[in-house]
Copies of this chain bind each other. A is one copy, B any other.
């Protein structure tokens, strides 16, 4: 009863999680803490000639999430739905695939984004996806609005509308911070989470990618800044060369980040977005085992 009372206090004081972050409490199986690691593979890296072969392989490893690209998704809804029928695998997130970009100065480029992104959102909703991943502006995308408060306000307004559209379609949009080499505009999970909050729509979320998170000073702090309110997806790769987890040996330590995910009761997916050096089936099998081991340790 003392423990229950403490949890109740904690629950009222903090919105992110109904549990504290004591491992001791989590290990007792309180409802707020999810212990399972939900692994997802991107379609492109999964071995197999056909979608069926890919899903068979995923199923053999206990992988429960499938992340397709957004390009052309509208024409693949039935194909993917049928392929997943009767399997213990769901679509996780949709990886980008839109054209243009949201911070474009050129109205035509912005319109291209709006149109193509909404088409993908509709398809994502039909597939029950957790969301559609997007980047506000890659470094090369020019002309881009300047990095000012006014642009941030504009971004949040635009994301609000997009988020509400996503909610109407039963899904979300997921802001992905990248490293400085790809996207100076948005590099930190805490920044993405703050933008999601200021967008004021339950359809605007964020994610972390263990590869890009070399920008972070703390995987643990970064994921807690997103919290269950905003964290909707996670990408994973090896941490030295962006290959498959485990292919960079000792560098491939995800325990600090996993600890946050477990403590906050994260119930979405950790999805492979990575290259590969070795034999796909071998390295993916080893990677899944490695992540399960580290999740257990976290």
CB-nearest residue of chain B relative to A149?
Answer: B184
Q: A146: which of B22, B146, B215 is its contact (CB, 8 Å)?
A: B146
Report the copy number of this chain in the oligomer: 2
Q: A16: which of B218, B222, B223 is its contact (CB, 8 Å)?
A: B218
Q: Decide if A224 touches B221 in the complex (CB within 8 Å).
A: yes
A149 to B185, CA, bound (A): 9
Q: A197: which of B148, B217, B225, B230 is its contact (CB, 8 Å)?
A: B217
CB-nearest residue of chain B relative to A192?
Answer: B217
CB-nearest residue of chain B relative to A10?
Answer: B255
A152 to B215, CA, bound (A): 13
User: Is A20's beta carbon under 8 Å from chain B?
Assistant: yes
Interface residues of A in 211-249 (CB under 8 A from B): 215-218, 220-227, 229-230
A37 to B147, CA, bound (A): 38
A239 to B246, CA, bound (A): 45
Q: Decide if A218 touches B222 in the complex (CB within 8 Å).
A: no
Interface positions of A (Cβ within 8 A of B): 13-14, 16, 20-24, 139, 146-149, 152, 180, 184, 187-191, 193-194, 197, 215-218, 220-227, 229-230, 253, 255-256, 259
